[in-house]
């Protein structure tokens, strides 16, 4: 019991920076993981990755003007994310190009522009902070922002839950029976952007999408029901956050990558050992062939 306390509980009891990191990561799990489940059900996982990179120029603009200040970088990231989402959608609707191709083009341009903007004024340390985040350096302002985004996300999901589920399963049916089809789509994209901006404070632009997608992808192997999938994604996100922070503390590893790698372990375990994973999903077929 003493060893368990020293390795698992003591770091969060003794150090305030670990407590703030844990609070931020847990709130991000509650907020971003359900959004990731809907992204995956919509087959838009790579869109989430593209949007994570799209916020970089706005965050870089805030950094150039005000330094590493949370409010300007957050506002810049929100504006950049909205501009890229609307721009890619407009190109897809007004030209022959598909939305995935236009999103990829916007994301590559945004990533390159953001890196150049940060490099103009900042050092390599500043660039690493913007790209990979500093979850162990979260302050009260960052925690307040993450908490507000979590409350906004949960409230919006609660209000539009049935419409979001219907659009995932049959968007044409939703548009035929309700006027919520298009508005719900853009509301959902807004949730993706604000959660990526909140995650950017802790995990950076390159890794913020990891906590959104990996727990949701793992949960998909354990359940087909959307409600259960979202709850499992939150639980796996929280577990990955705790394991990643402890791994970072005891092994002196970067905290953001440690959290995402922990989520990756949960994903690979689900791929192999879940009821719909590689091992158990192949058993009935093998038994049928033997018979």
Cα separations in angstroms, 165 against 16, 42, 84, 196: 39, 10, 25, 21
Q: Which residue has the higher pLDDT, 287 or 31?
A: 31
* pTM of structure: 0.84
Chain centre to alpha carbon of residue 122: 26
Least confident of 149-153, 237-241, 261-265, 286-290: 286-290
Q: What's the domain count of the chain?
A: 1
d(CA 259, CA 168): 28
For residue 1, being part of any structural domain is answered with no
Q: Which residue has the higher pLDDT, 99 or 94?
A: 94
d(CA 128, CA 174): 43
Confidence band, pLDDT 50/70/90 cuts, at residue 157: very high
Confidence band, pLDDT 50/70/90 cuts, at residue 288: very low
For residue 127, being part of any structural domain is answered with yes
Q: Which of 191, 134, 130, 126 has the alpha carbon at shortest distance from 157? A: 191
CATH number of 89's domain: 1.10.3470.10
For residue 2, being part of any structural domain is answered with no
Average pLDDT of the residues in 206-215: 86
Q: Which of 184, 196, 185 has the alpha carbon at shortest distance from 78? A: 196
127 is written with which tokens? 């660039």
Residue 287 has pLDDT above 60, yes or no: no
d(CA 268, CA 264): 6
Residue 252 DSSP class:
T
For residue 12, being part of any structural domain is answered with no
Task: Read off the pLDDT of residues 8-25 as tens digits, 9 standing for 90 and up.
Answer: 888 888 888 899 999 999
Q: Which residue has the higher pLDDT, 133 or 183?
A: 183
Average pLDDT of the residues in 178-195: 80
Please give the pLDDT value at position 31. 93
Confidence band, pLDDT 50/70/90 cuts, at residue 291: very low
Q: Which of 63, 48, 68, 67 has the alpha carbon at shortest distance from 194? A: 48
For residue 9, being part of any structural domain is answered with no
Please give the pLDDT value at position 52. 77
Confidence band, pLDDT 50/70/90 cuts, at residue 281: low
Task: Read off the pLDDT of residues 231-264 as tens digits, 9 standing for 90 and up.
Answer: 999 999 999 999 999 999 999 888 888 999 999 9
For residue 6, being part of any structural domain is answered with no
For residue 65, being part of any structural domain is answered with yes
For residue 215, being part of any structural domain is answered with yes
Q: Which residue has the higher pLDDT, 231 or 127?
A: 231
Range of the domain at 230: 19-290
Instruction: Give SS3 for 65.
Output: helix
Average pLDDT of the residues in 170-192: 74
């Amino acid at each position: 019991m003493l060893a368990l306390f020293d390795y698992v509980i003591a770091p969060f009891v003794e150090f305030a920076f670990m407590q703030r990191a844990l609070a931020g990561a847990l709130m991000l799990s509650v907020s971003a993981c359900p959004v990731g489940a809907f992204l995956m059900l919509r087959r838009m996982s790579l869109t989430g990755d593209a949007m994570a990179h799209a916020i970089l120029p706005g965050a870089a603009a805030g950094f150039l003007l005000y330094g590493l200040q949370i409010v300007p970088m957050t506002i810049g990231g929100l504006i950049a994310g909205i501009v890229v989402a609307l721009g890619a959608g407009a190109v897809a609707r007004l030209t022959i190009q598909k939305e995935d191709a236009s999103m990829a083009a916007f994301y590559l341009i945004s990533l390159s522009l953001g890196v150049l903007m940060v490099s103009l004024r900042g050092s390599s340390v500043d660039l690493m902070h913007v790209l990979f985040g500093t979850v162990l350096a979260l302050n009260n302002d960052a925690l307040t922002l993450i908490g507000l985004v979590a409350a906004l996300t949960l409230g919006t999901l609660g209000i539009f839950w049935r419409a979001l589920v219907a659009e995932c399963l049959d968007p044409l049916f939703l548009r035929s029976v309700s006027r919520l089809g298009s508005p719900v789509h853009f509301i959902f994209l807004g949730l993706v952007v604000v959660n990526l901006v909140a995650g950017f404070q802790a995990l950076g632009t390159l890794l913020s999408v990891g906590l959104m997608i990996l727990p949701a992808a793992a949960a998909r192997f354990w359940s087909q029901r959307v409600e259960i999938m979202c709850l499992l994604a939150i639980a796996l996100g929280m577990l990955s956050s705790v394991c990643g922070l402890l791994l970072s503390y005891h092994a002196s590893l970067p905290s953001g990558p440690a959290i995402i790698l922990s989520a990756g372990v949960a994903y690979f375990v689900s791929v192999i050992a879940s009821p719909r994973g590689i091992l158990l999903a192949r058993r009935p077929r093998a038994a049928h062939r033997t018979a």
